[in-house]
A and B are shown apart, each in its own frame.
Chain A
Amino acid sequence: SSELTQDPTVSVALGQTVRITCQGDSLRRYYASWYQQKPGQAPLLLIYGNNNRPLGIPDRFSGSTSGNTASLTITGTQAEDEADYYCNSRDSNGNLLGDFGGGTKLTVL
């Protein structure tokens, strides 16, 4: 089972800032990557490593870590940001890709 914990649901008003969190002991030493998934689509990489964004990802998406908690922050949330968000990081066996959080459903009000 996953050792990364995410809130199942989060809501945010259009244009506001929202933080989606991912908790786990591995995050004290290892970075999380973050994925956005819209209905019927494959996940999309948003953030990896120390707040790195792939080409084409808007800069309103940012990542950070404090203690055992990784956060994905969306600044100026858009309607199209309504989606499921997943974190991924190292599992207890040392696999840097091995563990996904349970996901957070973001609703934009």
Chain B
Amino acid sequence: QVHLEESGPRLVKPSETLSLACSVSDGSLSGYYWSWVRQPPGKGLEYIGDIYYSGSTNYNPSLKSRVTISVDTSTNQFSLNMNSVTAADTAIYYCARADRSGWYGYFDNWGRGTLVTVSS
């Protein structure tokens, strides 16, 4: 079972950049999509975006202008950068492994999540 773990600052100031990394262990990045999903406190899940191990990306259109997801196969990590953050970006951020196959997609392995608070 692949293991994912998020890391990065838990507190970010408004207008600055949120940066998180996800370390993948007990498995390779090859063949899968590596994703970010967030959940504001007490609310539902929101897809942020994903990156294929080869580097192609997909983003939530509502966040696309502020988000960059990158992958580093040499360290088995992928990362999220979100700029110009506001309090509305306060959420638990999850990294997850995903796959797509014709008529469906799914997230089959998730990190534990990390709460990022945007506040001065």
List the interface of chain A (C-beta within 8 A of B): 2, 29-33, 35, 37, 42-45, 48-49, 54, 86, 88-91, 93, 95-103
Contact = CB atoms under 8 A, between A and B. Distances in A.
B44 interface: yes
Closest 10 CB pairs of A and B: A96-B105, A48-B106, A31-B104, A33-B106, A42-B110, A97-B105, A103-B44, A100-B45, A49-B104, A96-B100
Interface residues of B, number: 25
B54 interface: no
Contacts of B110: 42-44
Contacts of B44: 2, 86, 100-103
SS class, residues of chain A in contact with chain B: loop
Contact of A45 (B37, B107, B111): B107
Given A30-B103, A97-B107, A86 B45 contact: yes
Interface string B60-85: 11000000000000000000000000
A103 B100 CA distance: 22
B105 to A, nearest CB: 3
Nearest to B44: A103
Given A29-B103, A42-B110, A42-B112, A100 B58 contact: no
A99 B65 CA distance: 18
A29 B103 CA distance: 7
Given A97-B33, A97-B58, A48 B47 contact: no
B26 interface: no
Given A97-B35, A97-B58, A49 B103 contact: yes
Nearest to A30: B103
B45 A33 contact: no
Contacts of A32: 104
Contacts of A90: 105
B106 A88 contact: yes
A30 B105 CA distance: 9
Contacts of A98: 47, 58, 60
A45 B107 CA distance: 7
A68 to B, nearest CB: 15
9 contacts: A35-B107, A42-B111, A42-B112, A43-B94, A86-B44, A96-B104, A97-B50, A97-B106, A97-B107
